Structure 1
Amino acid sequence: MQNNLILLSIIRLILLVFAQVLIFNHLNFYGYINPLVYVLFFYWYPIRENKSLFILLSFILGLFIDIFSDTTALHAMAAITVAFSRPLLMRFCFGVNFEFQGFTYKNTTKVQRATFLLLLILIQHIVYFSFEILSFSHLLLILKKILFTAIVTFLFSILLSSLFATDQDI
């Protein structure tokens, strides 16, 4: 059972890299909005799996996105940040219930799941765009990119999550 979840996570990682690199990196809404849907990996990764493996897979995910997007470790840095902050976000969104053995994704409300996904996206975007632009004089540009890209990423992520989610998610 555990090997199946790890294999499923690795397959999702590979598919999200291909989807991000081949499809979503080429969508330019208004010239600067590219949905970063690989954030779904952090949303879909099971709670009870090896946390060291999760950090490693997160780094690999970010690294592959960086290699194919030519973004000099920005995605890897954002992916590691999201991976480390995920337990805090889960505790914030789901309360201490997620630490219990019987916790399943089906026991949560849609608002809790949407909040969790949105917070993952926002943290990823804040780190990514802050270091991409790296200038306080362009604060409005950073905020504009974070806001609009987060909205589009959230919509695409909800769509993809509803299409490909299983009962074993989170």
Structure 2
Amino acid sequence: MISRTLFTDLLIMIFLVALQIYVLNKITLFGKFTPVLYPVFVMFYPFFRNKFQFLALSFLIGLSIDTLMHSGGYNAFATTLIAYFRTLIFRSSTDTSTDFFSFQSLQWTQFLLFLFSSIFLHQLFVQYMEFFKLSRIFEILINVLVTSVISFIFIVVYALIFKIKQKV
């Protein structure tokens, strides 16, 4: 288990926001899809930590993205929402009913399902709020699916580089 403090959480947030804004937002795949990596903060935040601090930090990372991208709070809402429902997403993805949560005890398929479910829900909330019109529902769903798949690949690479499954 890694030792994390509020200071290290803030450093991780700064790193992820900078990476998202200054690197990943410059990458456009297939002409319109941008990978999203900053929600890994929410996905990999230790389960045993203070829930209120976690929700506040999740809101703060989303708000930072919104501020730097000049968007209307979509990312803050979506990030806080997946933070709030993270335990439910984890339980439904991993089919566990215990109160002890650990990525180390998961099989890779369960871990990947948790990651994809989280990023898909995040993108669904962001794109629904940003682009929603009933006439564009199919286009929005395609955007959510493609962005989720691209982001999922980036998140898995991030998890492998930082050995997240073994640490958290």
TM-score, structure 2 as length reference? 0.92
Q: Which runs of 5+ in 1 are unaligned?
A: none
Q: Aligned residue for 1:154? A: 152
Say if 1:46 and 1:168, in contact at 8 Å, map to a contact too: no
Match of 1:113 among 97, 103, 111: 111
TM-score, structure 1 as length reference? 0.91
1:2 deviates by 8.9
Q: Deviations over 1:140-161 (max 9, x none)?
A: 1101110110010000110011
Q: Aligned residue for 2:33? A: 33
Aligned partners of 2:78, 2:104: CA distance in 1, in Å? 28
Q: Deviations over 1:30-83 (max 9, x none)?
A: 221001111111121000000000100010000000111111111111111111
Say if 2:93 and 2:117, in contact at 8 Å, map to a contact too: no
Over the aligned positions, Cα root-mean-square deviation in angstroms equals 1.7
Say if 2:54 and 2:83, in contact at 8 Å, map to a contact too: yes
1:1-170 equivalent positions in 2, closer than 5 A = 4-94=4-94, 95-97=96-98, 99-100=99-100, 103-166=101-164, 167-169=166-168
Q: Would you identify which runs of 4 or more consecutive aligned residues in structure 1 move more than 6 Å? A: none
Please state whether the residue corresponding to 1:38 is helix, strand or coil: coil
1:5 deviates by 4.3
More displaced, 5-14 or 137-146?
5-14
More displaced, 27-36 or 147-156?
27-36
Sequence identity (%): 26
Q: Which has the higher helix share?
A: 1
Residue identity in the other structure for 1:88: L
Q: Deviations over 1:112-145 (max 9, x none)?
A: 1100000110110000001111211101110111
1:9 deviates by 2.6
